[in-house]
Structure 1
């Protein structure tokens, strides 16, 4: 099947097709629901990425990313120390881990997933009212934030809500998920605060250090829908990338697809009902001076008739230092452990993310000393 796309006809106008798809405001769910059997050409990924999709470690996938029980973090100093060391180890080696007994009821998780799914399953005429590409503010429904910046589109739609520091007005959030989105902002932030305390302690810093530095002050909630794809061997749900911010809290339904790069192997992340996935972002790798690792992850195109739903909460730095710069925390530096990254500006950070498609560690690579 892949050979069909080996040569691009001279008559093929990629930008025209991309624009028609974007202006239809139907997203990939609209394509999937229409019953197509072949995906549009601009979704077909480059050969090097497609060949890499087959590289999955069955051995590591059977164990998966670390699972950490948070139920005893406040019961005793000894138990908290044990959990902190587990979080530190996972953030240093995997960059990804799953938390259970995190304080949010399973019923709340299920309601949040159902609400985001309900939004994506609305008729196109209803959803299209929210379709736009005004990044970094308000509410935005779109397919592929980087549609015009990437080499190939990926098979997903997204509902984006910038929850802090300037939350949208309640009436701006779609009614189908309004109550749940506002509640999830609160619940996921509470979990992130617990995890960030443990990560701060893991570096030998005060428990509240990361909170004081406003590491949770900027938040974006993204509800992804990965509908059925008729040719999952030709595209991806989301391309391999690292998250640019501090940490990410991920809630997903039971449909598989997420993979994490561990060493040279891709590992399947098995959905764990009631669990939440935490991963380290590029900024946390930088401010920790490389102690914590931001790692590549991707989502395979969905071959299941049931849509894959994931709700991602991105936590990012709000208050930049001085005239708007940041770098490794001075408290972590010494003659024995000098800075491995230079300071960089807020403008560099945002330009690096919004002026290109999703990718891996490009900011980190630019500021390495």
Structure 2
């Protein structure tokens, strides 16, 4: 019998319960739409080997004080941006309790009763709050074993009623704190580029915030699928909040580097547009 891929995609999507719904139904074999090409899986297996590199860690303590401390941090941010496009920040001003509660809030949402989750499941990108599986579900060669909660938090945040009650308060608080940190980092990035501290902010780079809470349910056949495939991010700047299990890798000097989770740290991904700015700075 000919494989009806479109039909399987449609049937899965219409269940509106995501990958978590498959686990809740008791599946022991993953649907074919989640099975990746073996050559790609082998490539990722090789990528997990140990690297000689480690992602830069930048301490932001006292960064707003004038003098040598500010200059030192700015230079470190510029160096990490030029050579990596990624770095971790510590002492960034967001309490560990807020970060931990945000992770717990995302988990609470994805572990809600299926009938509750269904109310948020949509692919309507005009919605400020969306829950679904893979934004490219119908375009990718194989789906990733991952569910996501999307929240457009700025410049026009959703109403409190639109946000899931189990993570409503912490999503608002975390977003407000991240916006403040983002403004500080944009100042440092502006200065590292030899510009005034408000240059990137005045360009409008600090106006938007899109929060994505990823969830990777335990998989009965993990050797056949992936939670996330390699990609670049076009977003101007991304903050990655990892739980202590880790799993994030960065490609550097043709080597995949494991990003070891640090309690209370955030991973900063400059994104393609900001990396291009630093690339041309080097060329000049």
TM-score clears 0.5 = yes
3-state secondary structure, aligned to 2:189: helix
Give, in whole Å, the separation in 2 of the partners of 1:200 and 1:232: 43
Check if 1:77 corresponds to 2:67: yes
Q: Which residue of 2 aligns with 1:106?
A: 96
3-state secondary structure, aligned to 2:115: helix
1:70 is displaced (CA, Å) by 0.4
Q: Judging changes above 3 Å, is the alpha-carbon distance between structure 1 residues 235 and 23 closer, same or farther for their aligned structure 2 residues? A: same
Gaps of at least 5 residues in structure 2 are none
1:48 is displaced (CA, Å) by 3.3
Q: Which residue of 1 aligns with 2:247?
A: 257
Give, in whole Å, the separation in 2 of the partners of 1:59 and 1:151: 29
Compute the TM-score of the two structures, normalised by the length of structure 1. Answer: 0.73
1:258 is displaced (CA, Å) by 1.2
Q: Judging changes above 3 Å, is the alpha-carbon distance between structure 1 residues 187 and 109 closer, same or farther for their aligned structure 2 residues? A: same
Check if 1:26 corresponds to 2:26: no
Q: Which has the higher contact order (CA 8 A, sep 6+)?
A: 2
Check if 1:39 corresponds to 2:26: no
Q: Which residue of 1 aligns with 2:158?
A: 168
1:192 is displaced (CA, Å) by 1.1
Gaps of at least 5 residues in structure 1 are 1-9, 292-331, 338-369
1:37-76 to 2 correspondences below 5 Å: 37-55=28-46, 56-60=48-52, 64-76=54-66
Question: What is the aligned counterpart of 1:290 among 253, 273, 279?
Answer: 279
1:47 is displaced (CA, Å) by 3.1
1:142-153 to 2 correspondences below 5 Å: 142-153=132-143
Q: Which residue of 1 aligns with 2:196?
A: 206
Give me the CA root mean square deviation: 1.7
Give the conservation status (yes or no) of the 8 Å contact 1:136–1:162.
Answer: no
Q: Which residue of 2 aligns with 1:155?
A: 145
Give, in whole Å, the separation in 1 of the partners of 2:210 and 2:42: 32
1:269 is displaced (CA, Å) by 1.3
Check if 1:182 corresponds to 2:172: yes
3-state secondary structure, aligned to 2:130: strand
Give the conservation status (yes or no) of the 8 Å contact 1:119–1:176.
Answer: yes
Give, in whole Å, the separation in 2 of the partners of 1:96 and 1:220: 19
Q: Deviations over 1:141-180 (max 9, x none)?
A: 1111110111110011011011122211111011111111
3-state secondary structure, aligned to 2:40: helix
Give, in whole Å, the separation in 2 of the partners of 1:94 and 1:236: 24
Give, in whole Å, the separation in 1 of the partners of 2:278 and 2:80: 16
1:231 is displaced (CA, Å) by 2.0
Give, in whole Å, the separation in 1 of the partners of 2:182 and 2:165: 26
Q: Which residue of 2 aligns with 1:304?
A: none
Richer in strand (by share): 1
1:289 is displaced (CA, Å) by 5.9
Q: Which residue of 2 aligns with 1:356?
A: none
Give the conservation status (yes or no) of the 8 Å contact 2:85–2:275.
Answer: no
Question: What is the aligned counterpart of 1:274 among 240, 264, 270?
Answer: 264
